């Protein structure tokens, strides 16, 4: 069985799959200060709770948190007994990154592109709502050609609450109407519907510049907050909070398949 781990700045998502079926998936808060021992204990506890203590045979991870990359590699090796495969440009992922500086593209963006192209061969756009909201353009030829990076929804909500003296934290949920009848509703409207408009506007511009105009271009959404936005717009064709884990699975199958291990 494969354990896939996506290490983001705000959340760490994990999943364990047998073949192509996900048996369990988890989402944790990222704690940059935790040690390999602490994360190793967490991994073992999650697997034990799922009755999968000894089921893991392979591990793959992607990380955009340099401080945790070595931490997780060590945790997997010492506590689960496996050397984890790190996703990145050094692997044959089946996707070509043709941006000006490919090495500057985060592993999460690469893995999302792999998942999108594998699940829906052809041109696509991926909207990933994490710490940052990322929009990536994938061509029909399997190329990650570039994209857009904007502040994330939670990051924006935190900044608004911390920098405005008379505004506080609000639940990230859609208010009953766009016109807020109180301060909380007004903030929720600006955050939720503001990001709906952001997604619709940016995706519209990307569709107009997509290298494969004239072909059907699928828009996929992922990230912990994607469903909140997808519920209020038709611009997202498929919302999959676990898309990155699927990309990791695909990369593992491709790499290990070439090595004759699966």
Asked whether residue 174 is domain-assigned, the answer is yes
| pTM exceeds 0.95 for this model | no
Q: Are residues 81 and 109 both part of a single domain?
A: no
121 in the same domain as 172: yes
The CATH number covering residue 113 comes to 3.30.420.40
Q: Do 47 and 76 meet the contact criterion of CB atoms below 8 Å apart?
A: no
Residues 31 and 77 in one domain: yes
Domain boundary among 30, 63, 86: 86
DSSP letters along 151-172, please? E-HHHHHHHHHHH-TT-----S
* In-domain check, residue 139: yes
Token duo for residue 183:
């301060």
Please list the pLDDT of the chain residue by residue as tens digits (262 residues). 999 999 999 999 999 999 889 999 999 999 999 999 999 999 999 999 999 988 899 999 999 999 999 999 999 999 999 999 999 999 999 999 999 999 999 999 999 999 999 999 999 999 999 999 999 999 999 999 999 999 999 999 999 988 887 888 999 999 999 999 999 999 999 999 999 999 999 999 999 999 998 899 999 999 999 999 999 999 999 999 999 999 999 999 999 876 656 5
Residue 252 lies in a domain: no
**Domains identified in the chain, total number:** 2
Q: Which residues, in sequence order, are CB contacts of 7 under 8 Å at separation 6+?
A: 30, 61, 62, 63, 64, 65, 68, 69, 72
For residues 43 and 142, membership in a common domain is answered with no
255 in a structural domain: no
In a domain, 157, yes or no: yes
219 and 119, same structural domain? yes
So what's the pLDDT on residue 54? 83
Residue range of the domain that includes 232: 96-244
Reference 22, options 239, 249, 224; nearest CA is 249
Same domain flag for 21 and 65: yes
Domain end marker among 86, 107, 140: 86
Looking at the structure, tell me whether residues 13 and 63 fall in a common domain: yes
Question: Does any domain span residue 171?
Answer: yes
Q: Answer yes or no: do 40 and 162 share one domain.
A: no
Same domain, 75 and 115: no
Instruction: Provide the pLDDT for residue 163.
Output: 84
Active site residues: 108
As a whole number of angstroms, the longest Cα–Cα distance in the chain is 62
Query: 117 with 47, same domain?
Result: no
Other beta carbons within 10 Å of 4: 30
Residue written as token pair 């705000």: 10
Mark whether 73 and 105 lie in a shared domain: no
Q: What's the token pair of residue 78?
A: 């010492």
Indicate whether 121 and 234 sit together in one domain: yes
The upper half-sphere exposure of residue 101, i.e. CA atoms within 13 Å in the direction of its Cβ, equals 4
Final residue of a structural domain among 62, 86, 110: 86
Specify if 131 maps to a domain: yes
Tell me whether residue 126 is in a domain.
Answer: yes
Q: What is the pLDDT of residue 115?
A: 97
């Amino acid at each position: 069985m494969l354990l896939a781990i996506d290490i983001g700045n705000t959340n760490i998502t994990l999943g364990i799959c047998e073949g192509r079926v996900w048996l369990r998936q988890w989402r944790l808060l990222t704690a940059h200060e935790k040690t390999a021992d602490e994360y190793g204990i967490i991994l073992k506890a999650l697997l034990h709770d799922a009755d999968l203590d000894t089921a893991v045979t392979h591990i793959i991870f992607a990380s955009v948190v340099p401080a945790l990359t070595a931490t997780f590699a060590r945790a997997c090796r010492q506590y689960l007994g496996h050397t984890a495969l790190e996703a990145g440009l050094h692997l044959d992922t089946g996707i070509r990154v043709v941006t000006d500086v490919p090495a500057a593209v985060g592993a999460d963006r690469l893995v999302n592109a792999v998942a999108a192209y594998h699940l829906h061969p052809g041109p696509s756009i991926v909207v990933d709502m994490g710490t940052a909201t990322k929009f990536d353009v994938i061509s029909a030829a399997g190329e990650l050609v570039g994209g857009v990076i904007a502040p994330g929804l939670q990051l924006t909500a935190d900044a608004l609450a911390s920098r405005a003296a008379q505004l506080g934290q609000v639940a990230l949920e859609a208010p009953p109407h766009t016109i807020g009848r109180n301060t909380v509703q007004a903030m929720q409207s600006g955050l939720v519907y503001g990001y709906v408009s952001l997604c619709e506007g940016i995706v519209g511009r990307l569709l107009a510049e997509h290298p494969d105009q004239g072909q059907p271009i699928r828009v996929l959404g992922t990230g912990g907050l994607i469903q909140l936005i997808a519920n209020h717009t038709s611009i997202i064709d498929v919302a999959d909070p676990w898309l990155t884990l699927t990309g990791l699975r695909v990369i593992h199958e491709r790499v290990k398949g070439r090595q004759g291990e699966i």
